[in-house]
Amino acid sequence: MKPFAFVFPGQGSQSVGMLDGWGDHPQVLAAVAEASDALNEDIGALIKNGPKEALALTTNTQPVMLVAGVAAYRVWMTEVGVAPAAVAGHSLGEYSALVASGVLTLAQAAPLVRFRAAAMQEAVPVGMGAMAAILGMDALKVIAICAEVTETFGENSAEVVEAVNFNDPGQTVIAGSKAAVEQACVALKAQGAKRALPLPVSAPFHSSLMKPAAVKLKDQLDATEFAVPQIPVINNIDVSVEQDPVRIRDALVRQAFGPVRWVECVQALQARGLSTLVECGPGKVLAGMTKRIAADMQGLALFDAASLAEVKTSLLEA
């Protein structure tokens, strides 16, 4: 089997019934039970029945996406048994990657991501922050225009907008205060962006407005025992592989209020000689981005029994 990387999706890929395609696979049931015990809540019922609105609450989305990614990984390891050469995760997905690499157990990670979600939501009141996807503009130009817009509010203003997710060469997500994001969308379109799409999120994730959340998260991370990774994990904030648990914790703290450098993460995986990325968990968002980041890389998706067979076949054929 040719070498490959597993990448784990973040918020936005959740859907009601997203684990149904695995049937009653013992590894999926075990992952759901482990997370449910850790959170003292029936996560399986929430995933299976929703409602969609409950699943979309960030305090629910983060743990259910963690569970879905880890469950898919465990099924792969049970059914196929070939470990990825490296792992990475988009935003929240980095926690799934850390579980896959043995740094955290699922029972440790589930309460951590729920705490992270709550801290992020508390950092900026609902309705005060915003995010938008900017399509068809170079990332450096997006950064520059966001800086110009922030400056227009004055030196000591709480209004801020920043580029926070570098998803692919033609898609950069911005975040910040609602007024600044709205003004930036107008400016970006006026200066050549094809589209500026407001995102249905409840907080300006990965912006500097999340620093209060990071302070709280640091205490939780410091109180959690981290193991040395068994598989290289490329992190979002530095696009680096860390072995020292202290440095892994620090990267997670900074990730909360720093950008997701996904384009560079994919390029770093490619630089390790990996030509296939397998998105491990619901949806095909990261698999779709892969080709747009690196034209000669292959993006596959692993989210149910049928896709597992397809991924296995594809990796064996090469």
pLDDT tens-digit readout, 120-130? 999 998 889 99
Model pTM?
0.97
Provide the total of helices (H) and of strands (E) in the chain, helices listed first: 13, 9
For the chain, what percent of residues have pLDDT higher than 90? 96
220 token code pair: 């939780």
pLDDT score of 3 more than 80? yes
Instruction: Provide the 3-class DSSP secondary structure of residue 285.
Output: helix
CA distances from 312 to 127, 288, 301, 307 (A): 44, 18, 11, 8
In DSSP terms, which residues pair with 84 in a beta bridge?
none
Q: Is the bond into 229 cis (omega within 30 degrees of 0)?
A: no
Q: Which residues contact 170 (CB under 8 A, 6 or more apart)?
A: 135, 136, 137, 292
pLDDT mean over 59-68: 96
Query: Please, are residues 315 and 2 in contact by the beta-carbon 8 Å criterion?
Result: yes
Average pLDDT over residues 214-237: 98
CA distance 84 to 234: 13
Indicate if the pLDDT at residue 201 is higher than 90. no
For residue 198, the model assigns a pLDDT of: 95
Spell out a b/e string for 153-190, using b for 16 or more CB atoms within 10 Å of the CB, else e.
beeeeebbbbbbbbbbebbbbbbbbbbbbbbbbebbee
Token pair for 44: 């399986």
CB atoms closer than 10 angstroms to residue 12: 17
What's the whole-number average pLDDT of the chain?
Answer: 96
- Whether residue 108 contacts residue 101, with contact meaning beta carbons closer than 8 Å, is answered with no
Helix (H) or strand (E) holding 35, with range, is helix 26-39
Tracing tokens 């449910």 back to the chain, one arrives at 36
Question: What is d(CA 58, CA 238) in angstroms, rounded to the nearest whole number?
Answer: 24
Secondary structure letter of residue 210 according to DSSP: G
Express as a percent the part of the chain with pLDDT over 70. Answer: 100
How many residues would you count in the chain?
318
d(CA 261, CA 68): 23
Helices (H), the chain: 26-39, 43-49, 52-56, 58-79, 93-100, 106-123, 139-152, 178-190, 211-222, 245-257, 262-271, 285-293, 305-317
d(CA 29, CA 272): 34
Cα distance between residue 57 and residue 301, in whole Å: 25
- 103 — phi, psi (to 5°)? -70, -40
Reply yes or no on whether the pLDDT at 276 is more than 80: yes
| Mean pLDDT of all residues in 196-206 | 92
Report, as an integer, the average pLDDT of 14-18: 96
Nearest in space to 129 (alpha carbons), one of 166, 180, 167, 165: 180
Q: Is the pLDDT of residue 142 over 70?
A: yes
Which residues are designated catalytic?
91, 206
* CA distances from residue 188 to 143, 172, 181, 206 in whole angstroms, order as listed: 10, 11, 10, 20
User: Is residue 67 over pLDDT 70?
Assistant: yes
pLDDT at 13: 92
Binned at pLDDT 50, 70 and 90, residue 318 comes out as low
Residue from 72, 79, 20, 94 nearest 303 by CA: 72
Ramachandran angles phi, psi of 81, nearest 5°: 80, 5
Q: Are 195 and 137 in contact (CB under 8 A)?
A: no
Structure tokens at 213: 């959340």
List pLDDT tens digits, range 242-274: 999 999 999 999 999 999 999 999 999 999 999
